[in-house]
Structure formats: C-alpha cells, structure tokens
Amino acid sequence: MAQDASNRASGPPRGVERLTAFRAGDLHDLCDAADAAIVDGGGFGWLTPPPRQVMETYWKGILLVPERDLFAARLDGVICGSAQLLRPTRNNEASARVGTLSTFFLAPWARGHGLAVDLVQKVCQAGREAGLAVLQLDVRATQERAIGIYEQLGFVRWGSNPRYALVEGRWMTGHYYHLDLTAEAAGPQ
C-alpha cells in the first residue's frame, strides 16, 4: 500500500485499498471496526452489532459478488473502515453507467486522520475507472459527518425521505445524493 510522505510525516501510517481477499487479521479487524461504528450509531442498516459469525459471513459474501468492490481504510496497518462500490448488473442496460456508494463507515477510534475523505475518493476513482458516469448514495440524516464529507466532495442532495429508517421506534429522515463522475468539478483526486 503506497503512502505519500505527508502521511508518514503527519501521523500514523494510513491508506485505502481495494480488497479482493482477506489477509491474516483483516476479517477480524473489519468486523471489530464495523461493530464499533454500529455502536456509535453509524451502522449500515444494523442498529446493534450482529453475532460475529453473521458479520464475518456478510463480509466474506461481499468478496464473492462480482458487481461489488470492497475498499478498506487502514490506520497503522489495521482495517478501521470500509466502503463499497456497487456496479449495476450486466442485464441492467438502462443504469449501466450508474453506481452506488454503500456501507461507508469509519470506526470512531480512527477518525481525524483524513481516512473518510480518502475512502470516498477511492470509491469515486474506482467508479470512474469502471466507466460509471454517476455515483449515487443514501444516508440517514443523523450521519452528519458522512453528509459533510459527501457534500465537501461535490455530491448533490436531490431528495429526502422522512420515513427512511425506523430506529428505536422512531422514523429517521434519509437523504439521497448523486455525483457526476464525468464533471471536472467532481471533487479532488
């Protein structure tokens, strides 16, 4: 994993990479980071961490889906967050150039190192390289840090749903965003 000199000089080694297989410790680290994010309120659908076997099966399954790319953020060599690029299936000609950024999270202990921005940028870059023209996403309105990152990188909110998710018996609003990957102003690389 390449790191620039500014990363090494300014703090612990960090980086983002696409995972195609788990190395020793990766699955454990990814599950721990996901659990921490879920407990902090940033679960990607989960409100409480599922049993470890369920979480491990979920992550292993992601690597088997041809239309999904899993990206992992690392801090000091430990996976601390992830995001996925979902590409349309081959039979979906109408949306062949539209991808989705999904399951973006960073464990609370790894925040403040610039990894969240790096992770989203890496997904955007992979989308461009895959020939996508648009990247879309949806996010719970309570995820203010994530929303700030999306908007900083040029994602445009196009709608909201006041009954997006049911959390502890209360409806939460969700927002929908898109990013034109073909535009020059699509965000820094």
Task: Evaluate whether residue 185 is within a structural domain.
Answer: no
More confident residue, 11 or 30: 30
pLDDT above 80 (res 187): no
pLDDT value at 20 more than 80: yes
pLDDT of residue 89: 86
pLDDT band at 26 (very low <50, low <70, confident <90, very high): very high
pLDDT band at 11; cut points 50, 70, 90:
low
Decide if 189 is inside a domain: no
**Does 45 fall in a domain?**
yes
> How many structural domains are present in the chain?
1
Residue 96 in domain: yes
Is 188 domain-assigned? no
pLDDT in tens, 37-68: 999 887 678 889 999 999 999 999 999 999 99
42 within some domain: yes
Q: What pLDDT does 16 receive? A: 96
Cα torsion 82, 136, 58, 19: sign: negative
Q: What is the CATH number of the domain that holds 164?
A: 3.40.630.30
Domain that holds residue 39: 5-180
Determine phi and psi for 154, rounding to 5 degrees: 100, 5
Q: Using CB atoms within 10 A of its CB, is residue 135 exposed (0-12), middle (13-18) or buried (19+)?
A: buried
DSSP 95-154: TTTEEEEEEEEE-GGGTTSSHHHHHHHHHHHHHHHTT-SEEEEEEETT-HHHHHHHHHTT
- Measured distance between the N- and C-terminal CA atoms of the chain, rounded to whole angstroms: 17
Element of type H or E holding 74: strand 68-75
- Assigned domain for 33 exists: yes
Give domain status of residue 143, yes or no.
yes
- Local confidence band at 96 (pLDDT 50, 70, 90 cut-offs): confident
